Amino acid sequence: MPKTWFITGATSGLGLEMAQQLLARGHRVIATARRPEALELLRPDHPDRLDVLQLNLAETDSITSAVESAFQRYARIDVIVSNAGYGLFGAAEEVSKAQIDRQIATNLAGSIHLICAALPFLRRQRGGRIVQVSSEGGQIAYPGFSLYHATKWGIEGFVESVAQEVTPFGIDFIIAEPGPTGTNFGANLDRAEPLAAYEETPAGAVRRAISDGSFAIKGDAARTVAAMIAAAESDAPPLRLALGSTAYASISQALFARLTALEAQRRVADSADRQDP
């Protein structure tokens, strides 16, 4: 049965791939972008099932307007896909204040505002599903991506809390966690001005790997999106969905290491309890 999907960041990468796959399957798509004219190429083939709206995640008023407009046009929106965002690369000392503020405003605050704007409508229609596109970088960290990781770890904590709040209203979440995937993510990186002091550090090594193409990218965009759609259409989707062998391996290793470290602290943890009878 055709559903109505609302997608942010639909002009490129996973967002564009998702819009194309959904339209090919007969679904209705509300595609949003900072530059909506870039989506017009999809309209001739799907004039009755594609709606295009302007939305800039860094501008709260733009988010509110797009969400309200979408729910006014459609009796029901089944799936909200919070996909828009970008990567900022540079050691923490290298990134500028403006780069920090823009990264947080877009990836974290923008995603939060989008979800908060959608919740009243989903609650009134007694259900819906939100897919938050995160990354393996929401549970692990590479040197040089500290601000990007801050936004992804942050949005995952936000979603995990909100998911518990809205379960009684029939609203649920999927946090999609792709590993390195063949999109234009790398080409669109916002890069800090490098400092010579970091050249021979882990951050410098990652910088060189990105520049010379040796940073391994195993994920396939079409397969990644197909898995996200399948999860969103399932009756009991997981809260977190690792996508790609790199994501599975890196998240698994990180969780095992954290659990091992936590177990070693059991006696210290218990010693911090109150000793009142």
Average pLDDT over residues 142-153: 97
In a domain, 184, yes or no: yes
- Structural domain of residue 8, as residue ranges? 4-271
Residue 22 lies in a domain: yes
Higher pLDDT, 64 or 42: 64
Residue 41 pLDDT greater than 80, yes or no: no
Is the pLDDT confidence value at 44 over 80? no
Cα–Cα distance, 247 to 148 (Å, whole number): 16
- Residue 276: inside a domain: no
Tell me the pLDDT tens digit for each residue of 116-133.
999 999 999 999 999 999
| CATH code, 75 | 3.40.50.720
Query: Residue 34 phi/psi, 5° resolution?
Result: -65, -35
Alpha-carbon distance 30 to 9, whole Å?
11
For residue 42, what pLDDT is reported? 77
Q: Looking at the domain assignment, is residue 277 inside a domain?
A: no
pLDDT > 90 in the chain, percent: 83
| Token duo for residue 232 | 């969103």
pLDDT of residue 108: 97
- pLDDT on residue 182: 75
Instruction: Check the CA dihedral 63-140-17-87 and report its sign.
Output: positive
Number of domains in the chain: 1
What residues does 53 pair with on adjacent strands? 32
Q: How many CA atoms lie within 13 A of 231 on its CB side?
A: 25
For the packed helices 146-166 and 110-124, what is the interaxial angle rounded to 10 degrees?
A: 20
- Residues annotated catalytic, as ranges: 134, 148, 152
Indicate the average pLDDT of the chain.
93
The 3-state secondary structure of the chain reads: CCCEEEECCCCCHHHHHHHHHHHHCCCEEEEEECCHHHHHHHHHHCCCCEEEEECCCCCHHHHHHHHHHHHHHCCCCCEEEECCCCCEECCCCCCCHHHHHHHHHHHHHHHHHHHHHHHHHHHHCCCEEEEEECCHHHCCCCCCCHHHHHHHHHHHHHHHHHHHHHHHHCEEEEEEEECCECCCCCCCCEECCCCHHHCCCHHHHHHHHHHHCCCCCCECHHHHHHHHHHHHHCCCCCCEEEECHHHHHHHHHHHHHHHHHHHCCHHHHHHCCCCCC
Nearest C-alpha neighbor of 197 from the set 93, 88, 100: 93
Average pLDDT over residues 34-50: 79
Does the residue 202 lie in any domain? yes
Are the C-beta atoms of 23 and 43 separated by less than 8 Å? no
Band of residue 47 on the pLDDT scale cut at 50, 70, 90: confident
* pLDDT confidence tier of residue 48, bands split at 50, 70 and 90: confident
Report, as an integer, the average pLDDT of 159-169: 98
Identify whether 144 is part of a domain.
yes
Return the pLDDT at 37.
78
The predicted pLDDT at position 12 comes to 87
Question: Has residue 24 been placed in a domain?
Answer: yes
Q: What pLDDT digit, counting tens, does each position of 207-231 carry? A: 999 888 888 788 899 999 999 999 9
Distance CA 106, CA 219 (A): 24
At residue 6, the pLDDT reads 97
pLDDT at 76: 95
Within 8 A by CB and 6+ apart from 48, the residues are none
